[in-house]
Chains A and B, each alone.
Chain A
């Protein structure tokens, strides 16, 4: 998909009509939209959101969509529109999507006239626009980029580092599923489960009383499972909304005029990152402790027995009874050879031969000697392990103690910042901080509720599997009953096959993305020894080596941002390749553009240069919205070779500005 043009008309700050024609050449694929802070950067991103998905994000309010100056200019009874129009090209077809609201002046008031309108046209072979019949005006664009994925393609560059946090895991996994079409297999799972339920219900009328009870039990379990799935979806939606709102409040604090507030928020951010890492280390250490006790502690319980067995064997050894000095095998070898070690012949029944044979009865038996050696060796190892157990156990405890102290200290510092901001004299700071605290608590609550529901769901699924096995074992009589049972069994097989294919494709996709992320990250990283990886649990991690054992490192904001960009770029490039993948027809990917607001926010010079240089490689088409503050010679020098279009946002003329603040757009390149 290519975004060819964006047109705004009286949309928030943008007075009158403005066209942005976006670059989409092979080499010149970047469009830059520049402007000072407060000139409408976020409004541009929201123009995409509103036109494509019908909403805007804070700090914009949809009620204020109609430009102030345009509103002022309306005479009584006159109407004008606020609209956003986007022209896209998808698989050789050109579509024009337009969303608009009409406003009319009635006396002093300006009111919205009629409903919001959304229309789509495509160009036929002759180039004539043909209207597309749309049933769902909110979700039409989902067929191109689903609403829940828009954050990966139209995003705030400064906030994107969230993907590299633990919380990003679910988002990453879902994005992989959605973008690569793997949700088809999720859908099929749902359909097969439902089909099984229905056939199970049919079975009820043919079986005995016991069988009927079995079918009813199955039905109950399925019903509870479906409710849990709905509940989890609902909780996740709430969590997503809370996360979005949290991002807005944090953005408010990060960009506040007061340097103190800004620095407090920045400090808190790094403290929270450090806290996450400490918590992860604590969990790892606790796991190691449990594993140590589970596997090794039994030796300590048997320590006394080992000691007495060892003492007993030692006494035997000191007395020369164990191990025996002459071996049976040695005697046998002499007899076979027919010669004693002193050189005398050992002919049959000779006194020498009888004497040697008599020695055999005194010789130690091989098995006994072997057993002695094995046992003493084993006891020696256990004695060492018992000592090592206590050393390791104390070391882990001591590390845990240190980590806990570090954790307490970080928490104390975070609380201090929270209290300071909450008790601020400036009302907006105090209000946002209180809201932030509430949102954090809500998010934690949702997370816990999701985990609880997921645990219950897992248990439910296990019981369902058991019941299904019982149903399959059911002996049924009668032609009709047999037919219904066959249906249930087939549906069961289909569901099982679907699960296996789904698991396979998810893993293959993860493996592929892991490689790509590493490569993209390598082109943008500042520290040579850092590596990015996507773990088996779908966690985007930065490590200092490529082994699976290295801990996730504490990231700077820049590294988090780069890791997240590497993930998005990898996803986009993989999805693009999947377009031509004919393995299974429905696993098609797509060619997606990226629209980024403020990708160079708080980055260091090195990171800025790397991102500017590589940003054009992330997708077929990249649109960058950037403030003058973030623009620098480093950025310009590195990004310029790929820039095909450049726009500048400025204040309108002074006389009109005093009537209503507004932005005008100029094409520079």
Chain B
């Protein structure tokens, strides 16, 4: 791995990974990440899985 030290470099590297996926998948991933960061600790495991499943079902329509 390249010597990546700055946030800008990190963002670029991250963008490279994300670019391998379509916009829909990327948005959905970010959405779930945000959900877990904001509410994950308050939610039960089952509730969190339920939320993810709902989001995936919506995206699969």
- The answer on a CB contact under 8 Å between A585 and B1 is no
| Contact string against A for B residues 10-39, beta-carbon threshold 8 Å, 1 for contact and 0 otherwise | 110110011011000110110011101100
CA distance A504 to B4 in the complex (A): 11
- The answer on a CB contact under 8 Å between B13 and A188 is no
Contact of B57 among A487, A507, A586 (CB under 8 A): A487
Contact of B49 among A194, A483, A508 (CB under 8 A): A194
- The answer on a CB contact under 8 Å between A584 and B21 is no
Q: Given the complex, which residues of A lie within 8 Å of B34, measured CB to CB?
A: 585-586
- The answer on a CB contact under 8 Å between A188 and B32 is yes
Interface size class of B (residues with CB under 8 A): 20 to 34
| Contact string against B for A residues 147-191, beta-carbon threshold 8 Å, 1 for contact and 0 otherwise | 000000000000000000000000000000000000010011001
Q: Given the complex, which residues of B lie within 8 Å of A187, measured CB to CB?
A: 36, 40
CA distance A487 to B57 in the complex (A): 6
- The answer on a CB contact under 8 Å between A491 and B4 is no
How many residue pairs, one in A and one in B, have C-beta atoms under 8 Å apart? 86
Does residue A143 face the partner (Cβ distance < 8 Å to B)? yes
Given contacts A191-B48, A494-B32, A504-B17, contact A581 B56 (CB under 8 A): no
Does residue A511 face the partner (Cβ distance < 8 Å to B)? yes
Given contacts A188-B33, A583-B14, contact A493 B25 (CB under 8 A): yes
- The answer on a CB contact under 8 Å between A184 and B37 is yes
Does residue A498 face the partner (Cβ distance < 8 Å to B)? yes
- The answer on a CB contact under 8 Å between A191 and B49 is yes
- The answer on a CB contact under 8 Å between B37 and A586 is yes
Q: Given the complex, which residues of B lie within 8 Å of A198, measured CB to CB?
A: 49, 53
Does residue A58 face the partner (Cβ distance < 8 Å to B)? no
Q: Given the complex, which residues of A lie within 8 Å of B5, measured CB to CB?
A: 512
Q: Given the complex, which residues of A lie within 8 Å of B4, measured CB to CB?
A: 508, 511
Interface size of A by Cβ–Cβ distance < 8 Å?
32
Contact of B33 among A486, A508, A512, A584 (CB under 8 A): A584
Given contacts A195-B52, A490-B60, A511-B3, contact A504 B14 (CB under 8 A): yes
- The answer on a CB contact under 8 Å between A497 and B29 is yes
CA distance A106 to B21 in the complex (A): 71
Given contacts A143-B41, A490-B60, contact A192 B25 (CB under 8 A): no
Q: Given the complex, which residues of A lie within 8 Å of B37, measured CB to CB?
A: 184, 585-586
| Contact string against B for A residues 542-566, beta-carbon threshold 8 Å, 1 for contact and 0 otherwise | 0000000000000000000000000
Closest residue of chain A to B41, judged by CB?
A143
Closest residue of chain B to A192, judged by CB?
B52
CA distance A195 to B53 in the complex (A): 6
CA distance A576 to B9 in the complex (A): 20
Q: Given the complex, which residues of A lie within 8 Å of B36, measured CB to CB?
A: 184, 187-188, 191, 586
CA distance A199 to B37 in the complex (A): 24
- The answer on a CB contact under 8 Å between B56 and A491 is yes
CA distance A586 to B37 in the complex (A): 5
- The answer on a CB contact under 8 Å between B53 and A500 is no
- The residues of B with any CB-CB pair to A shorter than 8 Å are 1, 3-5, 7, 10-11, 13-14, 17-18, 20-21, 25-26, 28-29, 32-34, 36-37, 40-41, 45, 48-49, 52-53, 56-57, 59-61
Task: Give me the 7 closest cross-chain CB pairs, A-B, nearest first.
Answer: A586-B37, A486-B60, A487-B60, A493-B25, A500-B17, A490-B56, A194-B49
20 other contacts beyond A143-B41, A504-B17, A586-B34, with CB at 8 A cut-off?
Answer: A184-B36, A188-B33, A191-B36, A191-B48, A195-B49, A198-B53, A487-B60, A493-B25, A494-B25, A494-B29, A497-B18, A504-B14, A507-B1, A511-B1, A512-B5, A583-B10, A583-B11, A584-B14, A584-B33, A586-B36
Provide 30 A-B residue pairs closer than 8 Å at the C-beta atoms, listed in order of the A residue: A187-B40, A191-B49, A195-B56, A198-B53, A199-B56, A483-B61, A486-B60, A487-B53, A490-B28, A490-B56, A491-B56, A494-B28, A494-B32, A494-B56, A497-B17, A497-B21, A497-B26, A501-B14, A507-B1, A508-B1, A508-B4, A508-B10, A508-B13, A511-B4, A581-B7, A585-B33, A585-B34, A586-B34, A586-B36, A586-B37
